[in-house]
Structure 1
């Protein structure tokens, strides 16, 4: 069954149970196993819906920004596929999670966040702010940032105004890293990138 066919109560149970398990994880391997099981519940049809919403987001952007951003717009699904290629054969990172306090802070409000601004819809198809769409995003980037040690945005990704994510040596600099502190659920608050000192 496609995950987006689940009822609201079944969706909430899936999110709550997964988050409870993730809050108890202390190692990269345990975290990756829980994330992998949860992401395995998303079918190819669910992924098509998610990809369709990403494409619609890009199509609404004005040029020339749309042309600059388009090569980066599927990063969420690219990261998902990269993770699943490692997870399915059991190639996962070992060792403890590097920052357990931040890991727990990342997850503690996720169930509430996933169901924010979700109201009844006349549309039978899943919307972009569907709780399980939001949860997919959180699952993928939890792996990227906490287990793999990557950043929330890929190097080179542009922002409006011509700003970009850049890397100098081992350090990734983001021009907006410290601008999202008033939004507790923003990925920026958990991302290992550093604020770009030039902005």
Structure 2
């Protein structure tokens, strides 16, 4: 785990980070993805059924969709085309340190049901969305209680819970490029 984050911390460009994450994904199997999805399902099992179903669809997109998207972008050479420097290197380094701590803690979302390597995969997928693609952690359309959802307007992603980043241990909100909305 520490060796993975040490390699990630050396990334200077979006393409560097994207390539490193794509390489790490080859250490995981579809079974590993299924374990993450199962752990996240465990975390939302007590939510109202209608909300749980809508959230589950977006969680699957967040995990499986991002995983496949990374592999496809790697195969098609699209990661190499991302030649911008990492947007906020200091924030990214903070993220890498948080990964090390969170992967060893069961306080992370899904933590009680997820292995440290599963947590690492979750954070790698999220890092790709946040720091390589500049997308929100949660896909556009992800629902939140009260009928709120992640939306995109005029090229800007808005998240209804962005301002609650400090309320959840190891929340990815403080790293997410989404605006409060």
Residue 90 of structure 1 corresponds to 77
The correspondence for 1:31, drawn from 17, 26, 30, is 17
1:167 to 148, 152, 155: 152
Task: From the superposition, tell whether residues 100 and 133 of structure 1 become closer, same or farther in structure 2 (CA, over 3 Å).
Answer: same
Q: Taking structure 1 as reference, are residues 171 and 62 closer, same or farther at Cα in structure 2, changes over 3 Å only?
A: same
Of 107, 113, 128, 2:102 maps to 113
Cα offsets for 1:31-56 (capped at 9, x unmatched): 11211111110012222322333444
CA 1:40–1:189: 2 relative to 1, 3 Å: same
Higher RCO (C-alpha 8 Å, min separation 6): 2
- Do the aligned partners of 2:42 and 2:113 also contact (CA within 8 Å) in 1? no
Normalized per residue, the structure richer in helix is 2
- How many Å apart are 1:110 and its aligned residue? 1.5
Q: Which residue of 1 aligns with 2:63?
A: 76
The answer to whether the Cα contact below 8 Å between 1:58 and 1:73 also exists between their aligned partners in 2 is: no
Judge which range, 25-34 or 175-184, deviates more.
Answer: 175-184
Q: Is the 8 A contact 2:158 2:180 kept in 1?
A: yes
Q: TM-score normalised to the size of structure 2?
A: 0.87
- Aligned with 2:161 (options 176, 180, 185): 176
What is the Cα deviation at residue 59 of structure 1? 4.3
1:38 to 1:158, Cα distance in 2 relative to 1, 3 A: same
- RMSD of equivalent CA atoms: 2.1
After alignment, is 50-59 or 98-107 more displaced? 50-59
C-alpha spacing 1:70/1:185, structure 2 compared with 1 (3 Å)? closer
What CA distance in whole angstroms lies between the structure 1 residues aligned with 2:76 and 2:158? 33
Q: Following the alignment from structure 1 to structure 2, what is the Cα–Cα distance between the partners of residues 185 and 48?
A: 22
